[in-house]
Amino acid sequence: MKTALVLAGIAVANAYQWPSPLIDQVEGLLYEGRGEGDPNNSLIDFAGKLAQCQSGSLGESGAAEWIRFAYHDMATHNIEDGTGGLDNSLLLELDRAENVGVGMKHALADLSHFPNKYLSFSDVTAVGVAIASAQCQGPIVPIRAGRRDAIVAGPPGVPEPQQTLAEHTESFRLQGFTPEEMIALTACGHSVGGVRSNDFPAMVPPAPGTTADNFILFDTTTALDNTVVLQYLNSTTKNALVVDKNVTLISDFRIFNSDGNVTMNQLADPETFDQTCSRLFAQMINTVPAGVTLTDVIEPILTKVDGVQLSIGYDTLLLSASLRFLNSSDQRTVKILWNDKAGGCASGSCFNWSQNQRDVTTTLASRLGLSVNKYDFVAPINATTSISKFWFEINENDGSPVTVLDNEGSGYVITQDRVLYVPHSSTATSTVVAVRNDVAPSRVFMDVYTRGRSAIVNQTVDLAPSTDIESRVGYAFYSLTQSFTGVEFTFDLHSIVNGTTYTEDMRDTYFATNSPDF
C-alpha cells in the first residue's frame, strides 16, 4: 500500500487510492477521530473526550482503561501454538477474576461504538492504545490494521499480583516478551491509572470514612511518562503493587527489581522510556493469532476524500463530498470537477467550489505537527446526464501551479446512481432511499450491521415505496421505518433491476439530518 515519503518531516502514505475501506477507517480514527456530528459529542468522540488522561474525580483515566483492556486481551497469547493475542477474545472472558474491574466495562462501552463490517473490535482496541498514549503525552504508537475478532473465549492466563516472579516471567515469555521487556512493558502500562479498592480491596481501602470506591494512582502524574519509574527508584512511590504491606501482592516490585534494577535505571531516561514504550506497545498490539496478517503501518494520508454521497436535491442530484488536507491554509481554494455518465460534460457546467472549511485535527495529529482540515462540497448535478467520476483542482494562491487531485489518475469513481441514500430525508428511525424510476426495481432492501456480543451481525430488511414522498428528478422514493439508532449501526443499500444488483456500500443513519440541505 505505501512507500513513505516525507512532508515537513512527517512520513505520509503514498500511492493510496480511495476507497480503501479499512485504511480509510483506521486512518480517520487516528488523525480525525470521530464524533464531530454528535450533538453531545462525547459518547463517540473517539480521539477526544473518551480517552482523557484524567476523567474521574478519583483520578481515573479512560486512557489507562483502554491500555489495560488491550493488554488483558493480548496477554493470553501463546507463542508456542500461535493462539490468542489481540483478538477481542476478552469480550468473552470478562467474567474471569483475572479481568476484574469496572475499568474493563468502561473500556468496553467506549470502544464498542466503533467496530463495523470493515473494522474489527481488536483493530479499534489497537487504535485506542495509540490514541490513549497520545492523549497522555506518551509516545507515538505506530498502528497496523487487519486484526480478526475471536468468536470463542481462549484459555485463561492474564498475570495476577499474587503470582510468583517465575510465573510472571513464564507468562511474558509465552506472550513473546523477554524478562527485560516484561519489566519495561509493565512500567509503561503502569505509568497511567492505578488500583481500585472495589477491584482489589486487600490492597486499596475504600475512600476514608466510607465504603465508596477508592483509587490509588501508580504515580503522581496522569501523564504516560516515566514518573512511575523515578518514584520507584527513589522510593517515594505509592504504587500499591510495589509498596503494599502484603508482600505476596507486590508484583511490580518483584518485576521491577528482577534484573537488579538495570532496566528501571535505563527507563529513568525519558527518551529511552518513550522509545521503549512505543516499541513495546506496538509489539503488544501487533501480537495476534497465527494466520492473521496485518497491514503496513498506517501513515497519515496527504489528501483524503470522504463523506461521498450522491443524493437527490429539489430538482437535481446532489453530490456531497469532503476533501481533507494535513495542512491548513487561509488562501487555498478548492474546486471539484466531474464527468457526466457519458464521460464528458454535456451540460456545459461540471464544477463547483467548496462551501466551507473546518478543522478536524486530533491530539495525535497535532503531536505529529499536522493540522487536519476539511473542505466540504455540495454540488448540484444534472440528473439526466448524471456523474461517472469527480476530481479536484487545488490552488494554494501562493504563486505555485494549480494541482490536480485525481485519485492517482483514476478519478474518484461513482459506480452507480440507481440506488441512493437520502440522508436529508432520513432520521435515526426512518431510512429514505431513492431509486431511478425509468425501470422499476424488483426489490429494494438493506443489510443492516451492528455489533453482536463479540462479532458484527447483520440482518436484511426490505424497503417499501414511500407513501409521502413524490417522485422527482427521475427518482422514486422507498422507505423503511424501523429503529436502527446508535452509531454502531451501518447499512448497505441494494436495488435489483433487470436481475442486476446495485449497491450503495456502508452508510449510517446516525448522522441523518431530516433537514433538506438544498
Selected binder of ligand HEM within 188, 288, 318, 420 (CB under 6 A)? 188
Cell of 462: 426490505
CA proximity to 134, closest of 326, 368, 370, 371? 368
Q: Which residue has the cell 477474545?
A: 89
Question: How many other C-beta atoms are found inside a 10 Å radius of the C-beta of residue 39?
Answer: 5
- By CB under 6 A, which span of 39-47, 142-150, 180-188, 510-518 interacts with ligand HEM? 180-188
**Closer by beta carbon to ligand HEM, 255 or else 487:** 255
User: Rounded to an integer, what distance in angstroms lies between the CA atom of residue 516 and that of residue 320?
Assistant: 13
Q: If DSSP codes are grouped into helix, strand and coil, which group holds residue 154?
A: coil
Please identify which residue in 25, 99, 125, 186 interacts with ligand HEM, judged by CB under 6 A.
Answer: 186
Site for ligand HEM contains 85 (CB under 6 A) = no
10 Å CB burial of residue 398 (0-12, 13-18, 19+) is exposed
The site for ligand HEM, by CB under 6 A, has a size of 27
190 is a site residue for ligand HEM (CB under 6 A)? yes
Cα–Cα distance measured from residue 95 to residue 171, given in angstroms and rounded to the nearest whole number: 20
* The binder of ligand HEM chosen from 168, 304, 324, 507 (CB under 6 A): 168
Q: Would you count residue 77 as binding ligand HEM (CB under 6 A)?
A: no
Q: What nine digits make up the cell of 12?
A: 505520509
Contact characters 237-276, ligand HEM, x per CB under 6 A = --------------x---x---------------------
Residue 296: C-alpha distances to residues 33, 130, 187 (Å): 20, 15, 27
Which does residue 115 touch among ligand NAG, ligand HEM, none (CB within 5 to 8 A, set by kind)? none
- Spatial strand order of the sheet with 475-481 comes to 419-421, 430-436, 475-481, 464-465
CA angle 375, 419, 500 (to 5 degrees): 135
Residues 53-72 that bind ligand HEM (CB under 6 A): 61, 64-65, 67-68, 71
Binds ligand HEM by CB under 6 A, chosen from 199, 213, 306, 447? 199
In eight-state DSSP terms, residue 299 is: P
Nearer to ligand NAG, 92 or 223 (CB): 223
Q: Quickly tell me which residue has 517515594 as its cell.
A: 236
Per CB under 6 A, does 300 bind ligand HEM?
A: no
Backbone angles phi, psi at 156, to 5 degrees: -70, 175
Site for ligand NAG, rule CB under 6 A: 39-40, 162, 202, 227, 230-236, 246, 248-249, 257, 260-261, 302-303, 327, 329, 346-347, 349, 352, 378-380, 382, 384-385, 396, 439, 447, 458, 497-498
* Nearer to ligand HEM among residue 167 and residue 396 (C-beta): 167
CA-based R_g, the chain, Å:
26
Binding site for ligand HEM (CB under 6 A): 61, 64-65, 67-68, 71, 101, 103, 159-161, 168, 185-186, 188-190, 192-196, 199-200, 251, 255, 284
